[in-house]
Structure 1
Amino acid sequence: MVVPSLNQGRYLEDALRSISTQDVATEIIVMDGGSTDNSTAVLERWTERLAYWQSRPDGGQAAAINAGIERGTAPYVGWLNSDDMLEPEGLRRLVNALEENPAAPAAYGAAMNLNDDGTRSNVWVQSFSEDRLRLRCIISQPAALIRRTAWEDVRGVDPSLFLAMDYDLWWKLYRRFGPLLHVPHVTAINRVHDSTKTRNNRAAHYAEAIAVVRRYNDRIPLKWWLAQPYAVFWKAVRARLDDLRKTD
């Protein structure tokens, strides 16, 4: 499991603990992009439990993920952003699913959003179909695990992408190997906070995602031109209202 991180020291230890306490053997590799907060202090405390870690400027999140996974040897690979967490037994469920279904390139479970106020809500994850994937990203990245051979075949994530590298990866794996396997159990927690890339770059995320759809399909569903822009707009409005309420 690769943990890409940059100035997320307040969350990093929770992420590492959630991996290290899984009931399967893990290689934990942390690729820190040169944090200036307390991240290196956390990593120094964890040195004995990490297969590798570094803290220096890199080529961006996707490049760091690729480099980290290349350093490992485990037959199943994935990444966990340093502000997310795995659920207990999450990896076991995903590993078992892949071992029972050797043709599947990857497996993914359900996921929960953890909000700043401690409340939780469901991430919109659905069982796999091409039509559903064409309409939106139906896979929660922290809840997924990929077969190493499949990862290496498609050359990992695209380092030219900043926000939708996971969406692009699911398409690559599907086009090359067939459907990804859905596991109907919560396997990860997606932490929602003010400094997430997705929250602060909604328009750019939308533009990158629609470019991914265009890359793998002859046509772009009408929903992308109609419903999705309004969804992005209303999410941005709600986020702004939340920010205003916090300052009251």
Structure 2
Amino acid sequence: MSQPLVTIAVPSFNQGRYLDDALRSIFEQDVLVEVFVLDGGSTDNSVEVIRKWEHKLAGWRSHRDDGQAAAINEGIVQGKAPFVCWLNSDDWFEPGGLKRLIEAINAAPQASAVYGKCWNVIQDTGKRKPVWVEPFSERRLSLRCIISQPATLIRRSAWETIGGVDPSMHMAMDYDLWWRLFKEVGPLVHVDAFVAVNREHEETKTKTLRRRHYAEAIAVVRRHHGSVPLKWWLFQPYAVWLKSIFP
């Protein structure tokens, strides 16, 4: 039998109303994958949804855990595929998106990871707009996160070199990951194609914990870039307070 190309971790907690869409989008990709669902002990219909897809999953569990980052690492380490990623249970892949990422990373042997463009969809209205994604540079990364996590594919060798996501982080773990991949392994390569969708709803951490998210992101920039650009301080009132009123 052919071996899977991508190990995908799907961390989830009480996201049963979205989880089915996420898993369907994975298994509709024309790519051999191994998928591990890491559920944090949900009390909604999540386990029912997981059991619906159990015959396609490489593994799953549902119990209390140490948070999203630890769950992602737990899923990835169980797999053997040469490329890895995670898909949060409220996001999904665009048709053919994963194949585009595989083609891109195979064409860029020096890249630690590749990332495409991503749509942001507001759950309540269905309104869709592009997430801010742009070609990689350290200067641009120091000003904002220019990479959208659902649209990213990483070499397993690079993931293992840096030890995966930092389990001590809860808000900006992906931003920290891009910095460590760049600094410790190699460049990240942009793919000019929409490959994934980020679902925005009222329970997302970036909406409910804006202040904590912004503070963690600033700490990431300071740690990896050596200084925090002025932009972060000027933009803080909008990102933390005004954006919650005028999204």
- When the two structures are superposed, what TM-score results if normalisation uses the length of structure 1? 0.95
1:83-126 alpha-carbon deviations (Å, 9 max, x no partner): 00001111111111111111100000000011121120110111
- How many pairs does the alignment contain? 239
Alignment of 1:1-248 (within 5 A): 1-116=8-123, 117-238=125-246
AA at the equivalent of 1:152 = E
3-state secondary structure, aligned to 1:146: strand
Task: Supply the distance in 1 between the matched residues of 2:58 and 2:120 (Cα, whole angstroms).
Answer: 28
- Please identify runs of 4+ aligned residues in structure 1 that moved more than 4 A: none
Task: Supply the distance in 1 between the matched residues of 2:241 and 2:134 (Cα, whole angstroms).
Answer: 23
Task: Supply the distance in 2 between the matched residues of 1:229 and 1:74 (Cα, whole angstroms).
Answer: 43
Contact 2:90 2:199 in 1 (8 A): yes
User: What is the percentage of aligned positions where both structures have the same residue?
Assistant: 60
Contact 2:110 2:187 in 1 (8 A): no
The match for 2:4 is none
AA at the equivalent of 2:55 = E
3-state secondary structure, aligned to 2:74: helix
AA at the equivalent of 1:69 = I
Unpaired stretches in structure 2, ≥5 consecutive residues: 1-7
Contact 2:121 2:127 in 1 (8 A): yes
Task: Supply the distance in 2 between the matched residues of 1:119 and 1:206 (Cα, whole angstroms).
Answer: 24
Unpaired stretches in structure 1, ≥5 consecutive residues: 240-248
Displacement of 1:178:
2.8
After superposition, the CA RMSD in angstroms is 0.9
Task: Supply the distance in 2 between the matched residues of 1:70 and 1:135 (Cα, whole angstroms).
Answer: 32
Task: Supply the distance in 1 between the matched residues of 2:238 and 2:19 (Cα, whole angstroms).
Answer: 34
Displacement of 1:225:
1.4
Displacement of 1:37:
0.2
Displacement of 1:177:
2.3
Task: Supply the distance in 2 between the matched residues of 1:37 and 1:231 (Cα, whole angstroms).
Answer: 31
3-state secondary structure, aligned to 1:54: strand
Displacement of 1:19:
0.4
1:27-84 alpha-carbon deviations (Å, 9 max, x no partner): 1110000000000011111110100000001110000000100001111000000000
Contact 2:94 2:195 in 1 (8 A): yes
3-state secondary structure, aligned to 1:78: strand
3-state secondary structure, aligned to 2:34: coil
Task: Supply the distance in 1 between the matched residues of 2:67 and 2:152 (Cα, whole angstroms).
Answer: 21
Task: Supply the distance in 2 between the matched residues of 1:90 and 1:120 (Cα, whole angstroms).
Answer: 17
The structure with the greater share of residues assigned to strand is 2
